[in-house]
Structure 1
Amino acid sequence: MQHAFAAGHRRVAIVGTDVPDLTAHIVLQALRALDGHQAVFGPAADGGYYLLALSSLPQALFEDIEWSTATVLAASVANAQRVGLSVAPLGTLPKLLDIDTLADLQRWLALQQQQHGHQQQPEEQQQRQQEAGLREPKHSMLQQLAQQIVQQTSQSLN
């Protein structure tokens, strides 16, 4: 982030690479939210965050954070407010599941099968996929990969 701001960018976002439901639409939504705020967090289901968008980078923002805990988001928001950043409401972006463990992967897979098990997709999701340039359901490949990982891991544990 520091390099991006030094290069003259006014809005910078970082994203987690372990969030299969993160879309370009969500990243754009975060960047647009910087019109009225200086910080936007994408809340993760485990108490962390999968996205951070900023219009400036105060040094103290990442101080005194107990990383990889359920308090990362709350501590980060508190730090942002403490250093004077206006933080967008946490409901600005959807809460998403990040994949840190096999149990997380199994949970995500179960949710995908529950939500996307049918052929017809909700109109809003189809529109998001079109905006992102996707023609096929984006999760089909991820679902197959997740199923293979779960099966192989379960077999190796037995």
Structure 2
Amino acid sequence: DLAERLHYAFHWTHDQGYQHTFVIGSDSPQIRSETIAHARTALDEADVVLGPSDDGGYYLIGMKRPYDVFSNIPMSTSRVTAMTIESAQRQGLRVQTIETLFDVDEMPDLQRLAALLRQDRTLAPTTAAYLEQLRMIS
């Protein structure tokens, strides 16, 4: 289950001595390095940082410690971000969100990504090359 794997990832990195951990979804290849830098800066002031997806999930979560913000949250639903924020706030944690992006779950999302990469292939060059092979971008 995704919530359990996320919880484990944060515990493992904390146990390894890392002070901050970010998990980034692989279904948002268009994330800019500036967005990740913004998330890192936001974590200086917050306990939890979320990069919301426009479908209600999130493409990025960062935490200073392995807080239990995942329990009883049904993943892959349109309320994941809102429920994660509520869970964190109930624990007295400071939460910041960064820019909202989209993730690729369905064909329209892939077409949206292809349109974006037509404009700027440097966002995800390997993905752009593959979409070019599929003739989704030229």
Q: TM-score range by the shorter chain?
A: 0.7 to 0.9
Structure 2 CA distance for aligned equivalents of residues 37 and 10 of structure 1: 13
Structure 2 CA distance for aligned equivalents of residues 149 and 104 of structure 1: 15
TM-score, normalised with respect to structure 1: 0.71
Which residue pairs with 1:37 in the alignment?
46
Q: Would the alpha carbon gap of residues 102 and 4 (structure 1) be closer, same or farther in structure 2, given more than 3 Å must change?
A: same
Tell whether the 8 Å contact from 1:47 to 1:70 is kept in structure 2 after alignment. yes
1:146 counterpart (121, 131, 137): 131
Which residue pairs with 2:34 in the alignment?
25
SS at match of 2:45: coil
RCO greater where, 1 or 2, for CA within 8 Å and sep 6 or more? 2
Question: Identity rate of aligned residues, in percent?
Answer: 31
Letter in 2 for 1:22: I
Which residue pairs with 2:88 in the alignment?
80
Structure 2 CA distance for aligned equivalents of residues 140 and 56 of structure 1: 33
Tell whether the 8 Å contact from 1:42 to 1:52 is kept in structure 2 after alignment. yes
Question: Which structure has the larger Rg?
Answer: 1
Q: Could you list the runs of 5+ residues in structure 2 that have no partner in the other structure?
A: 1-9
Which residue pairs with 1:105 in the alignment?
110
Deviations 1:65-120 (A, max 9, x none): 121111111111111111111001x3xx221111112221012212443xx17xxx
Q: Would the alpha carbon gap of residues 149 and 45 (structure 1) be closer, same or farther in structure 2, given more than 3 Å must change?
A: farther
Q: CA RMSD in A?
A: 2.1
Which residue pairs with 1:12 in the alignment?
21
Tell whether the 8 Å contact from 1:10 to 1:55 is kept in structure 2 after alignment. yes
TM-score, normalised with respect to structure 2: 0.80
Between the two proteins, the alignment pairs up a number of residues equal to 127
Tell whether the 8 Å contact from 2:30 to 2:123 is kept in structure 1 after alignment. no
Tell whether the 8 Å contact from 1:105 to 1:146 is kept in structure 2 after alignment. no
Tell whether the 8 Å contact from 1:106 to 1:150 is kept in structure 2 after alignment. no
2:12 counterpart (3, 26, 41): 3
Within-5 A mapping of 1:130-141: 137-139=122-124, 141=126
